[in-house]
Amino acid sequence: MSKKLFIKTWGCQMNVYDSARMADVLAPLGYRPVDEPDGADMVILNTCHIREKAADKVFSELGRLRILKDEKASADDGKMILAVAGCVAQAEGEEIVARAPYVDMVFGPQTYHTLPEMVAKASRAAGSVLNTDFPAESKFDFLPEEATSQGVSAFLAVQEGCDKFCTFCVVPYTRGSEFSRPADQILVEAKRLVASGTREISLLGQNVNAWHGDGPDGSTWGLGRLIRSLAEIDGLARIRYTTSHPRDMDDELIRAHADVPQLMPYLHLPVQSGSDRILAAMNRKHSADDYRRLVDRLRGVNPDLALSSDFIVGFPGESDADFAATLKLVTEVGYAQSYCFKYSPRPGTPAALESAQVPEDVKEARLQALQQLIGAQQVAFNQGFVGRTMPILFDRKGRRPGQLLGRSPWMQSVHAEANERLLNSIVEVRIDDARPNSLAGSVVTGDYASTAHNPVHALEARA
Ligand code: 5AD
Ligand code: SF4
């Protein structure tokens, strides 16, 4: 009999990928995903530890789930196995077991390939199974080959962990040190995805551009070379990668932005701050000018390239002048989109111990100012597309009947009136209207000559 599995995911795209892989590992045990936790046989909270609030949410969610678990037990409907996975589990496993002893399984991001054993233990015994090791083996070698289809746009984890040790960040502790999956394993997974209908692959890694591995030709490959190889897969129309560190943008990867048409012209390249003093205190190992030069080189090879970034405001010791340097950098670079965060001291990270913490009201004011600037840039970026025609990958139905929703090459969300048979394909759309967070357009019928610059998309639009 099939069992109901509910997974709730917080945080980054890597967590979304991990949740899908957990469902793959549990499928042979009879678990099928459901949309609601009520009555589920297993509930997994796949958690994020990057900022403070995320961990708090996990505990309040557990309080609610405990009630559902008790209801299921008193209705004699079997046991609801309650699990906490991901980075909060890795960092605070012991505390979860102590504070919420009704949780059955607590496991970190590197151990979910052992779920069948954990489930067997949790079904038998009372008390929690805690598994937060960094095992010697790679989980990627143990995940089932037969993955559930991820649809037209899919994630593919190629790299995990981080050795950079930015002084604000928990990732090196929760995800462990840098690990690159072998190129042949990645290529096999990519081909399988494309065979199952995927047209767009986003390569994932905490430090994805640090990826390196032995290529099938025996030489050492970097991410640029891997992308070139992926671009040879017939039917794979779009390639993206995230998240990158400025220090790891090598020449070959930059060149790929010039001459691999499948590589989308959008790059998430976090800089965090525009002040050299703060960048040094963050241990970013690059200056604001290094970043400016890198952006110039990228735009030099591909003038269409749009950038996004992450920023932290109120890092310990950040002065008004430091913050002004961030605003200056943002103004000079010009972003399509960005994410701004108030610095949040994370236990176990060096910056949390700094005495010069910035007061909350100052953080809040800087966040507002930066968001305003970023928001204005985003509006201007989107406005620039009105009247232009571009290829949209329709991957969802829109909210209104007869409407499809998709993504532009620049990651904009685009909706248009469109026949449902266009779902899961790449279609030329003329942009009629720009809003801060989305674009509205009309499907272009007839002559697609204007898209001939991109052979992949032009072909598809005609098909
Ligand atoms: N406080 C605030 N923001 C943080 N980030 C990472 N750690 C912290 C922290 N302690 C942000 C960074 C990173 C993004 C994923 O989250 O900007 O790039
Ligand atoms: Fe965290 Fe810095 Fe590593 Fe990114 S590069 S995961 S911010 S330590």
Across the range 342-349, mean pLDDT stands at 94
Q: Is the peptide bond before 243 cis (omega within 30 degrees of 0)?
A: yes
Ligand 2 centroid, distance to 55 Cα (angstroms)? 19
Mean pLDDT, to the nearest integer, of 99-124? Answer: 92
Task: Specify the pLDDT at position 204.
Answer: 97
Range in 54-63, 84-93, 347-356, 360-369 with the lowest mean pLDDT: 54-63
pLDDT, residue 271, reads 98
Q: Tell me, using a 6 A CB cutoff, whether residue 424 lines ligand 1.
A: no
Mean per-residue pLDDT, 116-143: 85
Give yes or no for residue 388 having a pLDDT over 90: yes
Q: Copy the structure tokens of residue 159.
A: 């790299």
Residue with tokens 């040190």: 177
Residue 56's pLDDT is what? 82
| Mean of pLDDT values over 168-187 | 94
Instruction: Tell me what the pLDDT averaged over the chain comes to.
Output: 92
Least confident of 89-93, 120-124, 405-409: 120-124
pLDDT of residue 453 exceeding 60, the answer is no
CATH number of 389-462: 2.40.50.140
Question: What single-letter DSSP state applies at residue 357?
Answer: P
User: 50 burial class (0-12, 13-18, 19+ CB within 10 angstroms)?
Assistant: buried
Residue 147: its pLDDT value, please?
67
43 has pLDDT over 80: yes
Residue 345 structure tokens: 């001291």
Best mutation site among 170, 177, 206 for ligand 2 pocket (most ligand atoms within 8 Å of CB):
206
Please name every residue paired with 177 in a beta bridge, in sequence order, or none if there are none.
none
Residue ranges of alpha helices (H) inside 302-412 are 320-333, 360-383
Instruction: Tell me if 48 CB under 6 Å of ligand 1.
Output: no
Residue 55, pLDDT score: 75
pLDDT tens-digit readout, 279-298: 999 999 999 999 999 999 99
8 Å CB contact between 248 and 255? no
Which residue, judged by its Cα, is nearest atom 1 of ligand 2?
Answer: 169
Looking at the CA of 12, name the nearest ligand: 1
| pLDDT value, residue 51 | 86
Task: Verify whether ligand 2 is closer than 6 Å to residue 44 (CB atom).
Answer: no
pLDDT value for 218 = 86
Q: Supply angle C-alpha 345, 12, 295, rounded to 5.
A: 85
Name 238's bridge partners.
Answer: 200
Count CA within 13 A, CB hemisphere, residue 129: 23
- With 70 as the cut, is the pLDDT of residue 370 above it? yes
Which of the four pLDDT bands, split at 50, 70 and 90, describes residue 430? very high
48 labeled part of a ligand binding site: yes
Q: What is the mean pLDDT of residues 33-58?
A: 91
Q: Is 3 helix (H, G, I), strand (E, B) or coil?
A: strand
CA nearest 110: which of 163, 50, 62, 178? 178
Regarding the beta carbon of 164 and ligand 2, being less than 6 Å apart is answered yes
Mean pLDDT of 65-72: 95
- Span 49-73, average pLDDT: 90
Residue 65: pLDDT over 70? yes
**Inter-residue contact 431 to 450 (CB < 8 Å):** no
pLDDT at 168: 97
Instruction: Examine the pLDDT at 250 and tell me if it is beyond 60.
Output: yes
Spatial CB neighbours of 44, under 8 Å, sequence gap ≥ 6: 5, 6, 7, 8, 19, 22, 83, 84, 85
| Residue-wise pLDDT tens digits, 307-316 | 999 999 999 9
Residue 257 has a pLDDT of 98
**Are the C-beta atoms of residues 224 and 256 closer than 8 Å to each other?**
yes
pLDDT at 394: 97
Residue 142 pLDDT:
79
Structure tokens at 432: 């009629």
Q: Which residue out of 169, 268, 312, 343 has the highest number of ligand 2 atoms within 8 Å of its CB and is therefore the one to mutate?
A: 169
Spacing, Cα 341 to ligand 1 middle (Å): 7
Cα 55 to ligand 1 centre (Å):
14
Domains of the chain: which residue ranges? 3-131, 389-462
pTM of the model: 0.91
Q: What is the DSSP letter of 127?
A: S
pLDDT at 158 over 60: yes
How far apart (Å, rounded) are the C-alpha atoms in residues 214 and 217? 8
pLDDT tier for residue 31 given thresholds of 50, 70 and 90 = very high
Q: Which CATH class is domain 3-131?
A: alpha beta
CA of 206 to the centre of ligand 2 (A): 7
Whether the CB of 207 sits within 6 Å of ligand 2: yes
Instruction: Report pLDDT for 458.
Output: 39
Mutate to test the pocket of ligand 2, among 160, 177, 178, 207 (most ligand atoms within 8 A of CB): 207
- 350 burial (CB, 10 Å; 0-12 / 13-18 / 19+) is middle
Residue nearest atom 17 in ligand 1 by C-alpha distance: 310
- Residues 50-76 have a mean pLDDT of 90
Residue 204, ligand 2, Cβ within 6 A: no
Ligand nearest to the CA of 345: 1
- Residue of 298, 140, 284, 314 whose CA lies nearest to 207: 284
